[in-house]
Amino acid sequence: MYVITTTETFSDATRRADLNLQDFVSIQGRSYIWRLPSGGLPETIVSLVRSYNTDGDKYPQIAQELESKGFHVSYDAGPEVLWLEGSIYPEHGQLAIAISLPKPRSIQGEANAMISSALIDGGMPTNLPPRSARSLEQKYHVEIRSLADDGHPPASTPLLRAGDIVVLHAHECIEPKSGGVAMILIRYKITRLR
Q: Stretch 58-68: mean pLDDT, rounded?
A: 93
Alpha-carbon distances of 96 from 33, 37, 43, 158, 173, rounded to whole Å: 16, 19, 22, 17, 9
Q: Stretch 129-134: mean pLDDT, rounded?
A: 46
CA-closest candidate to residue 182, choices 42, 69, 57, 68: 42
Confidence tier at 114 by pLDDT (50, 70, 90): very low
Checking if the pLDDT of 144 tops 90, the result is no
Q: Stretch 5-32: mean pLDDT, rounded?
A: 89
| Phi, psi torsion values for 139, nearest 5 degrees | -70, 155
Q: Name the residue range of residue 156's domain.
A: 2-192
* Total domain count, the chain: 1
Instruction: Give the count of beta carbons closer than 10 Å to the beta carbon of residue 29.
Output: 6
Mean pLDDT of the chain: 80
CA–CA gap between residue 118 and residue 90 (Å, rounded): 43
Largest CA distance in the chain: 70
Inter-helix orientation angle 43-54/59-68, to 10°:
40
CATH of the domain at 88: 2.60.120
Asked which of 8-22, 36-50, 132-146 is least confident by mean pLDDT, the reply is 132-146
